[in-house]
Amino acid sequence: MLTRSEVVTMVVISVRPSVALMWLYVVVLLAVLWVLGWLWRDSLLVGKISEKFVFVTGCDSGFGNLLCKRLDRQGFRVLAGCLTQKGADDLQRSSGPNLKTVVLDVTDSASVQRAVEWVQGEVGERGLWGLVNNAGRSVPMGPTEWMRMEDFHSTLRVNMLGVIETTLGFLPLLKRARGRVVNVASVLGRLAANGGGYCISKFGVEAFSDCLRRDIHYFGIKVSIIEPGFFRTAVTSLEPIERELHRLWEQLSPEVRESYGQKYFDKYIKIQRFVMNTFCDPDLSKVTDCMEHALKAKFPRTRYSAGWDAKVGWIPFSYAPAFVIDSMLNTVLPRPAQSV
């Protein structure tokens, strides 16, 4: 016959797994409810789209061009900034009457100011609902020692300083509408994988966007960052990338060129071709879908990763220790002729 203490012990032992299982069910249920709540909140959209003005930069081609056409079809009042008059005319012809274009060079302060004044005349007292800073360039891009200061400046003026100046110019109109700022950064703004000004500029866009979001949320303005992976646009076009690499190589002193060697240069070119031909996604809608959500959602996300290479590769890798990324890149990139 079992003693009283033995009976109690058996009961406790039998109850423990049941209690643990119960808590597991509770945790799973709460997780499911949280996900469902997040999905519901993420699906809520703003109204009166036909009354909302959106200004987009860099609309001659690529993401900006496609975004303008899609927003126009959905009923937004689209104002498109194009670098060239041809780009502006082509976009105007392929869109509806509610889309209007202006020539804009984000590296020219006078051009930015003219665009601000033009937009102000279009939006009036309603203000500007959305500003999409999409204009950008990738070249010159190459090993850091190959670059000169003017090479860094040419990229930073477009990708970073252009974003800052354009945003500051439009802030009064955005405050009037309690609107949104959507800045196009890159996965290379989270993980620096190559030399040149591109990664530096995109890291700058990330930092500027975070500072801006924290400073102006009091005025009802929301700031979102788009972090695309590799997509097939003018930014990833091989011809200008290779042309600039040849120019950088030719401008090196004989001593520096000898330290790298011709084999290094040839392999560097091959790697660029492999990356652009293998990983560049032709479906630009994966990026414009993120831009649209940032403009239409009641509760836009702070960051959007666009493309599977961004979601399962670049963004997760950006959290890895530096020595892991260094080792991975060292196995891919060529080794200089005079390396130690």
Q: Would you write out the chain's pLDDT as a tens digit for each of its 340 residues? A: 556 665 555 555 555 667 778 888 888 888 888 888 878 888 888 999 999 999 999 999 999 999 999 999 999 999 999 999 999 999 999 988 889 999 999 999 999 999 999 999 999 999 999 999 999 999 999 999 999 999 999 999 999 999 999 999 999 999 999 999 999 999 999 999 888 999 999 999 999 999 999 999 999 999 999 999 999 999 899 999 999 999 999 999 999 999 999 999 999 999 999 999 998 999 999 999 999 999 999 999 999 999 999 999 999 999 999 999 999 999 999 999 988 8
Q: What is residue 299's three-state secondary structure?
A: coil
What is the domain extent for residue 223?
47-332
The separation between the first and the last C-alpha atoms of the chain, rounded to the nearest angstrom, is 80
Quick check: is 38 in a domain? no
Question: No. of H helices and E strands in the chain?
Answer: 14, 7
Helix (H) or strand (E) holding 131: strand 130-133
d(CA 120, CA 127): 7
Measured in whole angstroms, how far is the alpha carbon of residue 280 from the centre of its chain? 15
Residue found by looking up tokens 């012990």 in the block: 9
Quick check: is 32 in a domain? no
Name the strands in the sheet holding 77-82, side by side, starting at the edge strand that comes first in the sequence: 100-103, 77-82, 53-57, 130-133, 180-184, 222-228, 303-306
d(CA 20, CA 257): 66
Quick check: is 147 in a domain? yes
Quick check: is 22 in a domain? no
Of the residues 25, 198, 218, 260, only one is catalytic, namely 198
Please indicate whether residue 304 is annotated as part of the active site: no
**Count of domains observed in the chain:** 1
Quick check: is 27 in a domain? no
pLDDT of residue 10: 55
Cβ-Cβ contacts under 8 Å for 111 (sequence gap 6 or more) = 103, 104, 105
Quick check: is 268 in a domain? yes
Which long-range contacts link 233-239 to residues 24+ away (Cβ below 8 Å)?
233/61, 233/62, 233/63, 233/284, 234/61, 234/62, 235/62, 235/136, 235/137, 235/138, 236/138, 236/276, 236/280, 238/272, 238/273, 238/276, 238/277
pLDDT of residue 6: 56
Cβ-Cβ contacts under 8 Å for 242 (sequence gap 6 or more) = 269, 272, 273
Q: What is residue 25's three-state secondary structure?
A: helix
- Helix 238-250 to helix 262-279 angle (10° resolution) is 160
Quick check: is 41 in a domain? no
CB 178 within 8 A of CB 135: no
129: which 2 tokens?
A: 């609902």
Give the CATH number for residue 274.
Answer: 3.40.50.720
The residue among 248, 280, 279 whose CA lies nearest residue 264 is 248
pTM summary value: 0.89
The residue among 232, 335, 240, 246 whose CA lies nearest residue 276 is 232
Quick check: is 225 in a domain? yes
